[in-house]
Amino acid sequence: MNAYDLLSKITGHETDGSFGEPFIGLFTNVFKNENRENIEAVAFICALYISFFKEQFPLDKLRIFITNIKESYSLFYFDCKSYDTILGQLPEEPFKMCLIGRELRFKMSDVKKQDIYGALDFYTNQ
């Protein structure tokens, strides 16, 4: 099952094509040799983490997604240089990002650079 199908199964809704951005674009630029499915899986973990904190996405659903992704994908690791490269590509001012709320529906929310940093930390500590 790919990351999009897994997310649809967990939420009960089709995934919005913008879910996972800006992470998908950022990771694609930084990890040029990485498999696209792995990039999407990691991007979704980061986006769900922000959804958990900003929109009260259910923690149990986040854990289910992470467990399934870890079992299905070869995930990759960030180093300090990767963090700097990823964060250097983000705007300083808040921007709109597609998140999932408590009701498991997609919505646009304001996200700050520090939220992205928190998501990267969350992913690397899983």
| Structural domains of the chain, with CATH | 3-124 (1.20.1090.10)
Q: What is the pLDDT at residue 93?
A: 85
How confident is the model at residue 82, as a pLDDT? 80
Instruction: Look at residue 92 in the predicted model and tell me its pLDDT.
Output: 81
For the entire predicted model, the pTM comes to 0.88
Structure tokens at 24: 């998908």
Q: Along the 126 residues of the chain, how does pLDDT read in single tens digits?
A: 788 888 888 888 888 778 888 888 888 888 888 888 888 888 898 999 999 999 999 999 998 998 888 888 877 777 777 878 888 888 788 888 999 999 988 888 999 888 888 888 888 777
Query: Which phi and psi (to 5°) does residue 107 adopt?
Result: -155, 155
Task: Note the pLDDT of residue 54.
Answer: 93
Q: Which bin fits 112, alpha (ψ -120 to 50), beta or left (φ > 0)?
A: beta
For residue 97, the surrounding DSSP H or E stretch is strand 95-100
Sequential DSSP letters for 47-87: HHHHHHHHH---HHHHHHHHHHHHHHS------HHHHHHHH
CA-to-CA dists, residue 36 to 75, 80, 83, angstroms:
11, 22, 19
Indicate the residue type of 46. Answer: C
- Give residue 58's pLDDT: 94
